[in-house]
A and B are shown apart, each in its own frame.
Chain A
């Protein structure tokens, strides 16, 4: 069965520092990979996704994630964070052949301090 592990439940960083949120998954088949962001008291929003092709994918607000098949990882990075990036981030995986069920990690709370 698939599973997703987000290695850090909380990540505190200072503004303008780089950050990496780690995500590992287990699956024996080809997958699609997603990162979602949840701001306080809101639903989840899609941040970026890997479907195929280039292993590095980017979002419009400066985040990027790299698919590493050999390490079954999809870590999320940003070179310089802002206060407004404070949120909870969820990694998710879906089998390519599935109906559409995503398996979510338990989330990482990113807290950006001034």
Chain B
């Protein structure tokens, strides 16, 4: 089974800190995605990547950046954390559309 591993389940950071959320997948998937999940808003796509060193903005990229230096790792960066970035962050990977996504367990980030 494909595994997508997010480095932290719970994270508490201070306003203004630079925050790194790490995601690693072990099945050589080309496509990787970062979402945030908030009550009533569902999943909102932040960034995605179809290949190493490639990134595309999703629906809500403001305040975030990403890095994909290796195929298996896709990092989400909060340049200067703010309280409105308190959320559940979900990473996913996929091979092709028909296979759907495999999700990590999520990182619940609280910015204080």
Contacts and interface: CB of A to CB of B under 8 A. Distances in A.
Interface string B74-112: 000000000000000010101111111111111010000
A90 B42 contact: yes
B42 A44 contact: no
Given A9-B40, A44-B90, A107-B42, A100 B97 contact: yes
B87 to A, nearest CB: 13
B31 A100 contact: yes
A94 B100 CA distance: 8
A46 B93 CA distance: 13
A43 to B, nearest CB: 4
B95 to A, nearest CB: 7
A51 B96 CA distance: 12
Contacts, number: 69
Contact of B97 (A9, A44, A99): A99
Contact of B98 (A9, A51, A90, A107): A51
Interface residues of A, number: 27
Nearest to B99: A100
B43 interface: yes
Interface in A32-47: 32, 34, 36, 41-46
Contacts of A9: 40
Interface of B: 4, 6, 9, 30-31, 33, 40-43, 45, 48, 50, 90, 92, 94-106, 108
Interface of A: 9, 32, 34, 36, 41-46, 49, 51, 90, 92, 94-102, 104-107
